[in-house]
Structure 1
């Protein structure tokens, strides 16, 4: 890039970075014509070098012969978010480890084995931790001085399922001891403990963890320079792809927004892409990411139509048209909704056009999920316009669907590859176990954030308000109850990994949607609606390349 052009670009970028409007920043960056000059290395060189490093890391994997070395290497690859390049090898390694007996008396090793196997749908009994307890069932005092082991125990225990009270006790025990020693720990363990106490590893987005761990891995005693270089190159290569996708999606959104003229709807294109990105970041899912991001955008525009603009009669008309799903239904709609309705139909047709002949049937599942969403939006509108406060269970049942998560869980499979079988789509559409849990997590975490900041004028009564009203309790009691429901939903997601082993890869993608909610709504903050809190993280994920 010419020095003068570079100075001008940096000057403009700094000006936007001082602002609070994240969307403007990202749109400017992805619209830059000289995108290739933004990075110091050519994509061709980076790809070639990455392929060379993959071969080296593959050799390292094959050279690992002890269970401990294999576990630590797999954990490192996951932390650095490059495990997707070695799926077959990791499945084989963990399968062999699961089949072999574990005799380790090291807390870190036992807990790491437990976490990695459970994360990959391989059942491990919590009894493996009994060796660290005394006859009364309490943990031995000597492990209280093992911060690395306690951190591993803490993170592993969050893969608990219903009824595993021993793992709940493990979480409390590990947390108390880690908090007491946190100020005395040294990097990088100190930072890893701090992050996990804020959000345990199984609930943390892999790409966010990778950003942290890349700066910490060099300080690990057994670090490997080839693994770290591959992680940085892979991140930058994928970041380029993600920027191109954001550019494509922004153009689509701008055209859609202009065409349908729904000026009352939120402009959240970057956040729509972010939700899709959290479900799958890998190169092979580019098509799926774009389709899901568009579906999320449609969810937002439809939600805002029901909540913000439409009268109750117009809500009923809009739902009737969506249930009919034919162009002639525009005759029953008010003028301002006709273009939007036709665009809805044409957008789903565009999805079909992007799919292979034997994949086109998938779109019908997403249309059905959208129709279910519309029915529940109408129910909320009825409650709101009649100032009716439903019973708590009724509110959760309807509003969890209105969160958009069930449609998103169906939509995330539309553009995927062979994983998205008809059985998978039928399972997702049924909105049971992990899918329902994802919807509950999405809704309740959103409600906690909304209750903290105060709801909008036209919002239906939230789950927190309905619980307070129905049970005559304080806000703190209601918040605690809903917090326990969120944790129960997380247990359901964990359990689905084992109960639906034949659908494990689909369950894991849905679990990613649930995990993203802790990213969006942690500490009762709504970062999806008010994205300033995600500003720095999003810049690092989509804008700023990793430096070597």
Structure 2
């Protein structure tokens, strides 16, 4: 974890062989992007991208320790890690980096990192929809407890009741996103709209209790409709 925090290629030999290629490729991507953006005096976005990636790796490390120790966190503790480990922030920040001066501003990056209401709502939607769709499959292959199991254990309810409560939180999160879109005071509207797109994508991927991310063939029809089949007029 020291390696991740220092972001230093000179420490690569401290990694196991299977990690060295990944770590070098990751650093190369950020270095090349930083060099390109420096030409436009917008390389500051890369520091935000690195920061969110470092945080994600540390969150993964926490989850790995849970799995290794067989630890079952409380629902509240689970949320403090798993809402962020869904990976929304690194993807969102990376997608903003090259969107020009109107979106890739320091103020917008800071807003995203400070967990604007719509950011937390998106993390909640995607994480809970993911967990509801995939928790039974994940437990068969060995995985940390999901939101379903953590909620069930903390509140002493059945799986069905836990799922129902999580879906209520998802519904409330959509209200938070809509509220912020109608009154965009924390970030620019174009920035919040892009957060909305991530929430929509996550909701679609895990809708109706189907994990279309893990079982991607489920999305084959939708991809065909979008890219290859003409619209009926």
TM range, smaller chain: over 0.9
Residue of structure 1 in register with 2:125 after alignment? 441
Residue of structure 2 in register with 1:367 after alignment? 50
Residue of structure 2 in register with 1:268 after alignment? none
Q: Distance in 2 between matches of 1:385 and 1:432?
A: 33
**How large is the RMSD of aligned CA atoms in angstroms?**
1.7
Residue of structure 1 in register with 2:69 after alignment? 386
Q: Distance in 2 between matches of 1:359 and 1:456?
A: 46
Residue segments in structure 2 that go unaligned for 5+ positions in a row: none
Distance 1:449 1:547, change over 3 A: closer
Higher relative contact order (CA 8 A, sep 6+): 2
Residue of structure 1 in register with 2:115 after alignment? 431
Cα offset for 1:350? 2.1
Residue of structure 1 in register with 2:26 after alignment? 344
Residue segments in structure 1 that go unaligned for 5+ positions in a row: 1-318
Q: Distance in 2 between matches of 1:546 and 1:487?
A: 31
Q: Deviations over 1:60-110 (max 9, x none)?
A: xxxxxxxxxxxxxxxxxxxxxxxxxxxxxxxxxxxxxxxxxxxxxxxxxxx
**Superposition TM-score, scaled by structure 2 size:** 0.92
Distance 1:346 1:454, change over 3 A: closer
Q: Does 1:395 align with 2:78?
A: yes
Q: Distance in 1 between matches of 2:120 and 2:27?
A: 26
Q: Does 1:470 align with 2:154?
A: yes
Cα offset for 1:362? 0.6
Q: Does 1:510 align with 2:195?
A: yes
Q: Distance in 1 between matches of 2:97 and 2:123?
A: 18
Tell me the secondary structure at the aligned position of residue 420 of structure 1.
Answer: coil
Tell me the secondary structure at the aligned position of residue 409 of structure 1.
Answer: helix
Residue of structure 2 in register with 1:322 after alignment? 4
Q: Does 1:536 align with 2:218?
A: no
Cα offset for 1:546? 4.8
Residue of structure 2 in register with 1:494 after alignment? 178
Tell me the secondary structure at the aligned position of residue 500 of structure 1.
Answer: coil
Q: Distance in 2 between matches of 1:516 and 1:398?
A: 21
Q: Distance in 2 between matches of 1:443 and 1:488?
A: 14
Q: 2:16 aligns with which of 326, 334, 354?
A: 334
Give the number of aligned pairs: 230
Tell me the secondary structure at the aligned position of residue 188 of structure 2.
Answer: helix
Q: Distance in 1 between matches of 2:217 and 2:41?
A: 42
Distance 1:481 1:547, change over 3 A: closer
Q: Distance in 2 between matches of 1:520 and 1:360?
A: 32
Q: Deviations over 1:247-272 (max 9, x none)?
A: xxxxxxxxxxxxxxxxxxxxxxxxxx
Q: Distance in 1 between matches of 2:189 and 2:232?
A: 35
Q: Distance in 1 between matches of 2:226 and 2:124?
A: 27
Q: Is the 1:451–1:464 contact (alpha carbons within 8 Å) kept by the matching residues of 2?
A: yes
Q: Distance in 2 between matches of 1:522 and 1:409?
A: 21
Cα offset for 1:431? 2.3
